[in-house]
Amino acid sequence: MMEKSFVMMKPDAVQRRIMGKILTRFEEKGLQVVAAKLLKIDEDLAKEHYGEHSEKPFFNDLVSYITSSPSFAMVIKGDDAISLIRKIVGATNPKEADLGTIRGDFAMDMGRNIIHASDSPASAEREISLFFNEDEICEYKIAD
């Protein structure tokens, strides 16, 4: 099924200047970027985005990290994009993520796991609307 996922390179990806390498993985797989922007997430947006983790012991660290420097937010579209992107991204803990995945190849630390990707259609819808207005999403045909 054609799906859109919310994908965000976190501050460590931007700081380490590996955004291009990461983006290439999605593009080369055949997925389509339909929205993208660099933004410095403020505290309110961070707390809303990570609301489900508000009771976790790492919540404050997570919010202060994600607001520390700009992130690169995207909407990526494709056939079964949500689960496919989770596969390309790898396990949440970079030490457990398979080599060949983004986290497996570029990260070592749970709190600095490089990238976020929606885990379900409901989260994708919620996260996309949190970060993008309808008119920032560009639907376009890829030539055959």
As annotated, the active-site residues are: 116
Query: In the structure encoding, which two tokens stand for residue 90, read together?
Result: 């790898």
Q: Does 51 bind ligand CMP (CB under 6 A)?
A: no
Q: Which stretch binds ligand CMP (CB under 6 A): 22-30, 77-85, 100-108, 109-117?
A: 109-117
Which residue, among 85, 79, 81, 63, has the nearest Cα to 10 in the 3D structure? 63
Q: Which of these segments, 29-37, 105-113, 121-129, 132-140, binds ligand CMP (CB under 6 A)?
A: 105-113
Are 113 and 94 in contact by the 8 Å Cβ rule? The answer is yes
Assess contact for 39 and 144: CB atoms under 8 A: no
Pairing of strands 32-39, 71-79: antiparallel
| Structure tokens, 16 | 């380490």
Give the nearest distance from C-beta 135 to ligand CMP in angstroms.
26
Which helix H or strand E contains 74, and what residues bound it? strand 71-79
Among 54, 69, 92, 120, binds ligand CMP (CB under 6 A): 92
- In the complex with ligand CMP, the residue whose CB is nearer, 53 or 87, is 53
CB of 136 vs ligand CMP, minimal distance in Å? 21
Please give the structure tokens belonging to residue 117: 């990707």
Residue 112 Cβ, how far from ligand CMP at the closest point, in Å?
7
List residues near ligand CMP by CB under 6 A: 53, 58, 62, 92, 110-111, 113, 116
